[in-house]
Structure 1
Amino acid sequence: MGERKGQNFYYPPDFDYKKHKSLNSYHGTHALRERAAKIKQGILIIRFEMPFNIWCLGCNNHVGMGVRYNAEKKKIGMYYTTPLYEFRMKCHLCDNYFVIRTDPEHFDYELVEGCRRQEKRYDPSTIDQLGAVDRSFSRQLESDRMFQVEHVEQDKEKAASSSDKVGKLEWIQERMRDDFAANQALRKSFKLEKASLNEGRARDEDLLKRMSLNIKLVSESVEDKKLAAAVLRYKNMKFT
C-alpha cells in the first residue's frame, strides 16, 4: 500500500508543486501537527516514559518508573558526537514541572529541576560489573607505558583472585551441558525417593494395623534403631 500514499489525498486545483512542495505547506501546517507547535524554538512534543522512580518536589508524591508524559524535547548540546537532550513535562498530580536531561557520559539521566530520584543505584565495581569508562584513564593507559604495565599487573592479580569463581562457573556449566542426562538423573533420584517413602508408609500402616494403634508414627532415626537393638539384646540375655 506504500505506493498509494500519494494518491489518497485531495489536491486542490490551485495547488502548485513547484510553489507549495507539499499539502502541509499548502495548508500552512506541519506534518507532526500539534506536536510541532514549538518546532521553531527547537522543541518537539514527545511521549516520555519515566526511566526510574522519582519523588515530585511540588507535591511530594511518588512517581513510578514507566509513567508516561507529554514532554517538550529539545537539544541543548553535544557530548563528543552524541547529542544532549532535555525533557520538560508537567506532573500529573500537581502543577510542578520536571526537567530531565540525558547523561551519555554515565549512561544515565540527570534530574535538573522539580524532582529527585528514589535512590536504588549502586557502584558496579563492587560486584565486578563494567562501569562507565573514564576518558582520562583510557588516554593515560594508551600513552603512559609504565601505567599500562601497572594496570596489566593489576588485571593479572584480579584474574588470579577470581579464578575460583570462574572454575566453579565452568564446573556448573559442564555439569549442565547435557541437560537430558541431568534431567534423567534427577527424575531417577525422585523415583527412588518416592519408592522409599511409599515403602515406609506401607510398613507404618501395617504396623499400626497389627498393633491396633490409632496414632501418628514419626520417622525412624539411627538413635531409635540403636536403642531398640539394645532392648532386644537385653531381653534375650540369659542370666545365670
Structure 2
Amino acid sequence: PPQHGSLNKYHHSHPLRERARKLSQGILVIRFEMPFNIWCDGCQNHIGMGVRYNAEKKKVGTYYTTPVYRFRMKCHLCVNYIELQTDPGNCDYVIVSGARRKEERWDPGDSAQVLPTTPEQRERLAVDPMFRLEHGVTDRGVLERATPTLTRLQEAQDAWKDDFGLNSRLRRRFREEKKTLREEEEEAAALQARAGLSIPLLREEEEDRRLAALLSLRAPDSYEEKQRLKRSEISQRSWFAPGTARAGGGALQKLALGAGRAPRGPLGPPPTPAGLGIVRRRA
C-alpha cells in the first residue's frame, strides 16, 4: 500500500539486509581486499595481498575534508581481529592493530625513477620565477642524461611493434616443436612395445648415433642362409638313429666274440641250395 512507502519499510528491513545490521552504530559490512602483504599477530601466518574479508567499515575522522575510514575483520586462520585504516595524506593504508606489515616499500630515488613534483614545489613554481628557471634547467639536464636510455628503449619497443607477425612466428615454431615431440614419443612407445621395455627412453643424441654406428647389432647370417645351412645338414645326416647303430654294432660284436670263443672243428661240405632252402623253378 502507498502508506508503507516501500517493501523494505513494510517488511521492516534494509535494502542491504545483513550488511546493514550495525548501521545504527555507524558500521557497514563491506567486502574488503587486503592492500598489501601482512603477518597476523594471532597465528603468525602470512596473509597475501588480495585476500578478501567481510570487514566492518566505519568513519573515525577526517584529513582536511577527506574522511578517514577504519576496517575491522577477523583472520580466516585464527580468532584474531585485524584493524586497518586509510591514510589520505600518504595515499596508503595503516595497520592499527592485529597484524604487522611485510615491508616491501622502497625509495623511488634509489631505483632512478622519475619522482613526481611535490605540492610545495608546485606552489613555488607558480609564484617564484627564479625557482621556475632553476627547475627548468635541472629538468633539461635530467632529460639529456636520460636521452640515450630512452632511445634504446624506443628501439627495443619498435623491434616488437609487429605483434601479429611475432606471435604468428612464435606459434608456428611451437607447433613444429610439438609435432616433433609427438613423433618422438610415438617412436619411443613403439620401441618399448616391440622390445618389451618398461623403462622410459631418453631422447636420441648425436653422440648416441656415432656410438651406434661403431657397433654391429646385425645377425651374421640372413634367414635364407640359415635355411640353406639347415637343409644341407639334414641331407648329410644318416638315416638311422645314432642309438640304433650303436645297438646293432654291439650285437654284431657279441656274435663275433661268441664265434671266436667256439671250438673250431673240421670244415664240412659246402652248403647246397637245397640246404639253404633255395628252390629253383623249372622253365
Give 1:146's aligned residue.
130
Give 1:3's aligned residue.
none
How many angstroms does 1:155 deviate by? 1.0
Give 1:196's aligned residue.
none
How many angstroms does 1:77 deviate by? 3.4
Alignment partner of 1:108 is 2:92:
yes
> Please, which runs of 5 or more residues in structure 2 have no aligned partner?
171-205, 216-283
- Contact persistence 1:38–1:44 (CA under 8 A): yes
Instruction: Count matched residues.
Output: 179
CA distance in 1, matches of 2:32, 2:159: 46
User: Which structure has the bigger radius of gyration?
Assistant: 2
Matching residue within 62, 65, 69 for 1:85? 69
Q: Which amino acid aligns with 2:33?
A: E
Secondary structure in structure 2 of the residue aligned to 1:174: helix
Q: Counterparts in 2 of 1:87-236, with a 5 A limit?
A: 87-129=71-113, 134-178=118-162, 213=214
Report the CA distance shift for 1:31/1:184 in structure 2 as closer, same or farther (over 3 A).
closer
Give 1:45's aligned residue.
29
What are the superposed Cα offsets for residues 7-34 of structure 1, whole Å, 9 maximum, x if unpaired?
Answer: xxxxxxxx3x2x3211211222111112
Secondary structure in structure 1 of the residue aligned to 2:61: strand
CA distance in 2, matches of 1:109, 1:128: 25
Give 2:54's aligned residue.
70
> Please, which runs of 5 or more residues in structure 1 have no aligned partner?
1-14, 187-203, 215-240
CA RMSD of superposed structures (Å): 3.3
Secondary structure in structure 1 of the residue aligned to 2:69: strand
Give 1:60's aligned residue.
44
Give 1:21's aligned residue.
5
CA distance in 2, matches of 1:34, 1:90: 17
Alignment partner of 1:33 is 2:17:
yes
Secondary structure in structure 2 of the residue aligned to 1:162: helix
Report the CA distance shift for 1:130/1:42 in structure 2 as closer, same or farther (over 3 A).
farther
Report the CA distance shift for 1:29/1:177 in structure 2 as closer, same or farther (over 3 A).
closer
TM-score by length of structure 2 reads: 0.54
How many angstroms does 1:66 deviate by? 2.3
TM-score by length of structure 1 reads: 0.62
Q: Which amino acid aligns with 2:14?
A: H
How many angstroms does 1:87 deviate by? 0.5
Report the CA distance shift for 1:132/1:81 in structure 2 as closer, same or farther (over 3 A).
farther
Report the CA distance shift for 1:133/1:110 in structure 2 as closer, same or farther (over 3 A).
farther
